[in-house]
């Protein structure tokens, strides 16, 4: 939407290529890819998915490597508002293809205007995930976005509505939905082998955020770091190099869900998946010591268990050797637990035989996005819903945000799963959104 609430793209049947052709007018952009890069790996040009990258940082290096490993992907551009990062990404892509063809952009909107780009990888900081996804969808691009995918409940709603309006394929970077051990655990729940579900346990790193500002430093040239754009929709504050070097994570203005969604975007999502709750969320959220106890309408509990650190001081309910982001699913006849180590523990002991029968493929670590990215690419071609589609992502993120609001208010909150509004709670409802700087209001 533009500033007056009207969408500048009025015809939903307009094609991406005709839209961008009209938007470009007389502006010449260097988007033509030399023919020598096509077909060298045996994939027909018509089967190639052309990829643009928005934001190049530590997580993106892994995601991009997974994309580059797929023969039906051609990465053609990088947009990053830090010169050093866009140059590093270009070097990585060009070295992979043995060319010098990857184009660089300081403003991702210029890259999105290219009609030859089919999909984008969004791996910015949290504050940019929804705005960049919305702009990409309006430009006719399919989207793989890292998590957390939104800063607020309101952003979740805008994101889902926009993806549906423009008919785009969307995959959240909650890659554990595409990894074997997590799939096996949710299969055990849905098979009934655990009996009637009683509780789902999602590990969280304890929330901890800062509201202060780092000391101001002289801003670098805009071409080196575009500080105003780096801030995006967030409130203005003076430049400090620590922010752009990755030190933004602990600051509320740049952080999703008071850190709850850092792990919760994965673990709450996995519990939602195992519980068959991709179309709903818990209705109550109650802080309880290190935990946040949430209750679904049918009485099943979602227990978000706080950890003092990512690698230690865990709740005794979790088996520490199973790695980061552990989850536990408990029924009235058994339980199963798994984590990023790839191992699965289950009880009673008889369930372990069922686990062994289901383990038929090579295990991946929970941080490995390879199979998740392959699922995204297949869905770009088939136009089917991805494993972490925008509706499932919306619900699991809203649940995480609701938990963060309960934590911030230090009391129970109750939410309507359909409207995603807190019931008779103006204070909580004010926290469903944040003020945004122009021109990044959604």
Per domain, the residue ranges of the chain are 179-208+257-363+393-419
Split at pLDDT 50, 70, 90, the class of 365 is: confident
- If you classify domain 179-208+257-363+393-419 with CATH, what class do you get? alpha beta
Q: Which two tokens stand for residue 219?
A: 């801003």
Q: Which two tokens stand for residue 91?
A: 């070097």
Residue 25 has pLDDT above 50, yes or no: no
Split at pLDDT 50, 70, 90, the class of 28 is: very low
pLDDT of residue 311: 52
pLDDT of residue 342: 87
Residue count (the chain): 442
Kindly report the pTM of this predicted structure: 0.89
Gap between the terminal Cα atoms of the chain: 6
The residue assigned the tokens 């929330």 is 207
Least confident of 5-19, 157-171, 187-201, 373-387: 5-19
Q: Which two tokens stand for residue 403?
A: 């938990």
Residue 37 has pLDDT above 80, yes or no: no
Least confident of 141-155, 235-249, 335-349, 416-430: 335-349
Q: Which two tokens stand for residue 114?
A: 């290219």
Q: Which residues lie closer than 8 Å to 430 by C-beta, 6 or more apart?
A: none
Query: Running DSSP on this structure, what letter comes out for residue 215?
Result: P
pLDDT of residue 115: 97
CA atoms of 427 and 354, how far apart (whole Å): 47
The sign one gets for the Cα dihedral 398, 400, 403, 405 is negative
Q: Which two tokens stand for residue 29?
A: 């952009």
CA atoms of 378 and 391, how far apart (whole Å): 18
Model pLDDT for residues 90-142, shown as the tens digit of each residue? 999 999 999 999 999 999 999 999 999 999 999 999 999 999 999 999 999 99
Q: Are strands 327-331 and 301-307 parallel, antiparallel or unpaired?
A: unpaired
pLDDT of residue 290: 85
Please count the other Cβ atoms lying within 10 Å of the Cβ belonging to residue 89. 25
3-state secondary structure of 77: strand
Task: Identify which of 140, 111, 139, 138 has the alpha carbon closest to the alpha carbon of residue 124.
Answer: 111
Q: Whole-number mean pLDDT of the chain?
A: 89
């Amino acid at each position: 939407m533009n500033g007056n609430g009207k969408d500048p793209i009025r015809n939903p049947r307009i094609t991406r290529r005709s839209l961008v052709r009209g938007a470009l007018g007389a502006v010449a952009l260097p988007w033509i890819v030399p023919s020598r890069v096509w077909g060298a790996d045996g994939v027909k040009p018509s089967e190639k998915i052309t990829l643009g990258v928005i934001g190049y940082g530590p997580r993106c290096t892994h995601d991009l490597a997974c994309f580059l490993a797929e023969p039906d992907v051609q990465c053609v551009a990088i947009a990053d508002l830090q010169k050093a990062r866009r140059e590093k990404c270009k070097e990585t892509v060009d070295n992979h293809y043995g060319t010098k063809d990857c184009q660089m952009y300081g403003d991702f909107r210029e890259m999105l205007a290219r009609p030859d780009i089919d999909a984008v990888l969004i791996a910015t900081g949290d504050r940019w995930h929804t705005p960049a996804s919305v702009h990409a969808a309006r430009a006719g691009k399919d989207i793989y976005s890292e998590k957390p995918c939104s800063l607020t409940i309101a952003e979740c709603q805008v994101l889902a509505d926009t993806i549906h309006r423009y008919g785009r394929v969307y995959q959240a970077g909650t890659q554990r939905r595409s990894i074997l051990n997590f799939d096996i655990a949710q299969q055990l729940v849905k098979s009934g082998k655990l009996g009637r579900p009683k509780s789902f346990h999602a590990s969280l790193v304890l929330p901890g955020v800062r509201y202060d500002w780092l000391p101001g430093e002289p801003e670098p040239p805009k071409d080196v770091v575009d500080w105003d754009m780096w801030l995006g929709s967030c409130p203005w504050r003076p430049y400090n190099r620590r922010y752009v070097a990755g030190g933004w994570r602990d600051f509320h203005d740049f952080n999703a869900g008071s850190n709850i969604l850092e792990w919760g975007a994965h673990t709450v999502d996995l519990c939602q998946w195992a519980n068959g709750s991709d179309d709903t969320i818990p209705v109550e959220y109650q802080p309880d010591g290190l935990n946040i106890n949430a209750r679904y309408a049918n009485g099943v509990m979602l227990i978000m268990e706080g950890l003092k650190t990512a690698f230690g001081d865990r709740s005794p309910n979790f088996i520490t050797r199973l790695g980061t982001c552990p989850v536990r699913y408990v029924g009235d006849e058994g339980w199963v637990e798994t984590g990023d180590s790839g191992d699965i523990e289950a009880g009673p002991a008889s369930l372990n035989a069922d686990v062994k029968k289901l383990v038929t493929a090579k295990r991946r670590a929970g941080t490995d996005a390879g199979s998740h990215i392959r699922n995204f690419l297949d869905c770009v071609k088939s136009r089917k819903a991805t494993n972490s589609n925008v509706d499932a992502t919306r619900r699991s993120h809203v649940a995480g945000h609701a938990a963060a609001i309960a934590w911030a208010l230090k009391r129970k909150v109750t939410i309507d799963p359909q409207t995603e509004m807190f019931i008779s709670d103006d204070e909580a409802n004010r926290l469903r959104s944040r003020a945004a700087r122009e021109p990044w209001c959604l």
